[in-house]
Amino acid sequence: MAALDRAAAATVVAGVSGSVAPARAASRDFQPAYLRLVEAGLLDERIEAIAAHYDQCGLCPHQCGVNRNDRETGLCGASARAQVYSHAPHFGEEIPLVGRRGSGTIFFSHCNLRCVFCQNWPVAHAGRGRAASDRQLADRMIDLQRRGCHNINFVTPTHVLPNIAWALGIAVRRGLRLPLVYNTSGYERVEMIRLLDGIIDIYLPDLKFMDGSQSERLAMERAGDYPAMAQAAILEMHRQVGKLVTDERGNALRGLMIRHLVMPNRVAGTREFVAWVAENLPLDTYVNIMPQWRVEHRAFEHEDIARGITVGEFLEAMDWARKAGLSNLDERAVSAEKVYRQRLGS
Ligand code: SF4
């Protein structure tokens, strides 16, 4: 089979949509989760509970135990001051996040998973970006709201959760009213996700690997427990926010959206991924089976992933998803699938 061409993979065919209509809510009735915590007088308490983790860092499954308030760093390489690479309206995220005016992304430097095939490696691995105080982080959130973004999308947030929490406290007092998106690799401690209950509106986790030997080999050292950690975290995310709910224009307000990148030679365990979703979550959970694999960073050092994915590999992934009964597949993935099937005449 021919290697996937990226432009075609990103093609959206007008009129093609996911298989089910998402749950709708009126935008005028929407209130982000954190405002309810404010009304209940609980936000400050929650912020302090999250912030306490910098003294002996256990924010993620690595549980390094370093005192980041005392300038120690753990495996992620991050200090107690968040580093931000960029903040801007982003139009490459899933359509319910992008809407007409973009998803308000804040890209954090460093990462606690650091896959060898990372497409963001200068930021996630090399730590490119600038330090931002919590006040400056709040400024960026307010700026994205002022620019009309539909949400605040924290990209790779796990290792800087205390900064996000402090900045949120400031931004709420300054009028922040947008839903918050937690855009994560999935390498999370369920205990930390529980602390986000009532703060995060939309969870956007990856589920990258279903086999710990693959995450051990292709992500950061000691990440062999990735599948178990990510699966437990996703179940907790779903418990908190449920299925995706959009407003009358299709913009996401609340819910779980799962991403899974198809890799060459079935390395990502896509068949096991769709089976796990089907067995553990509602069949209409929003799932994005992504075809945009690229041989990035150090992927070329691993023979089995040192090539693009084939059309056949992407189409078999979509077939598995449908056979498993998944009915709320990402619109762009469905469109890419249609394009490839048309080309193949199947
Ligand atoms: S967030 Fe960083 S320092 Fe903290 S436990 Fe994870 S890898 Fe270690």
Cα(90) to centroid(ligand 1), Å:
27
The pTM of this model reads: 0.93
Give me the percent of the chain exceeding a pLDDT of 70: 93
192 lines ligand 1 (CB under 6 A): no
Query: If you take atom 1 of ligand 1, which residue's CA is the nearest one?
Result: 159
Q: Which of 171, 221, 161, 220 is nearest to 196 (CA)?
A: 161
pLDDT of residue 15: 30
Cα(271) to centroid(ligand 1), Å:
31
Which ligand 1 atom lies nearest to the CA of residue 57? 4
pLDDT of residue 306: 97
pLDDT of residue 9: 36
pLDDT digits (tens, 9 = 90+) for 329-338: 999 999 999 9
**pLDDT tier, 5 (very low <50, low <70, confident <90, very high otherwise):** very low
**pLDDT tier, 1 (very low <50, low <70, confident <90, very high otherwise):** very low
User: For residue 213, which phi and psi values (nearest 5 degrees)?
Assistant: -70, -25
57 lines ligand 1 (CB under 6 A): yes
Query: If you take atom 5 of ligand 1, which residue's CA is the nearest one?
Result: 63
74 lines ligand 1 (CB under 6 A): yes
pLDDT above 90: residue 345: no
53 lines ligand 1 (CB under 6 A): no
pLDDT above 80: residue 17: no
List the chain domain ranges: 19-261
3-state secondary structure 105-174: EEEECCCCCCCCCCCCHHHHCCCCCEECCHHHHHHHHHHHHHCCCCCEEEECCHHHHHHHHHHHHHHHHC
Given 3.30.2390, 3.40.190, 3.20.20, 3.30.1490, which CATH number is that of 19-261? 3.20.20
pLDDT of residue 11: 31
Q: Which of 103, 215, 309 is nearest to 318 (CA)?
A: 309
207 lines ligand 1 (CB under 6 A): no
Cα(72) to centroid(ligand 1), Å:
10
Q: Which two tokens stand for residue 305?
A: 């992933």
Residue 213 near residue 191, CB atoms below 8 Å = no
pLDDT digits (tens, 9 = 90+) for 223-273: 999 999 999 999 999 999 999 999 999 999 999 999 999 999 999 999 999
pLDDT of residue 27: 75
In terms of DSSP bridges, do strands 103-108 and 83-90 run parallel, antiparallel, or are they unpaired? antiparallel
User: For residue 259, which phi and psi values (nearest 5 degrees)?
Assistant: -110, 145
Residue 17 DSSP symbol:
-
112 lines ligand 1 (CB under 6 A): yes
Measured over the CA atoms of residue 11, residue 16, residue 19 and residue 22, the dihedral's sign is positive
Q: Which of 111, 110, 165 is nearest to 141 (CA)?
A: 165
pLDDT of residue 83: 97
**pLDDT tier, 107 (very low <50, low <70, confident <90, very high otherwise):** very high
66 lines ligand 1 (CB under 6 A): yes
Pocket-testing residue among 50, 60, 229, ligand 1, by greatest number of atoms within 8 A of Cβ:
60
pLDDT of residue 201: 98
268 lines ligand 1 (CB under 6 A): no
Neighbours of 139 (CB within 10 A): 17
Which ligand 1 atom lies nearest to the CA of residue 112? 7
Q: Which two tokens stand for residue 217?
A: 């080999």
**pLDDT tier, 26 (very low <50, low <70, confident <90, very high otherwise):** confident
Which ligand 1 atom lies nearest to the CA of residue 60? 6
User: For residue 255, which phi and psi values (nearest 5 degrees)?
Assistant: 130, 180
pLDDT digits (tens, 9 = 90+) for 173-182: 999 999 999 9
Q: Which of 76, 161, 163, 72 is nearest to 113 (CA)?
A: 76
**pLDDT tier, 20 (very low <50, low <70, confident <90, very high otherwise):** low
pLDDT above 60: residue 50: yes
Query: If you take atom 4 of ligand 1, which residue's CA is the nearest one?
Result: 57
pLDDT above 70: residue 16: no
pLDDT of residue 21: 59
User: Residue range 22-32: average pLDDT?
Assistant: 80
More confident: 78 or 8: 78
What is d(CA 263, CA 169) in angstroms, rounded to the nearest whole number? 39
**pLDDT tier, 29 (very low <50, low <70, confident <90, very high otherwise):** confident
Residue 289 near residue 318, CB atoms below 8 Å = yes
Which ligand 1 atom lies nearest to the CA of residue 77? 2
pLDDT of residue 346: 67
pLDDT above 60: residue 317: yes
In terms of DSSP bridges, do strands 103-108 and 23-24 run parallel, antiparallel, or are they unpaired? unpaired
pLDDT of residue 28: 74
Q: Mean pLDDT, the chain, as a whole number? A: 92
Cα(159) to centroid(ligand 1), Å:
6
Query: If you take atom 3 of ligand 1, which residue's CA is the nearest one?
Result: 74
pLDDT of residue 24: 80
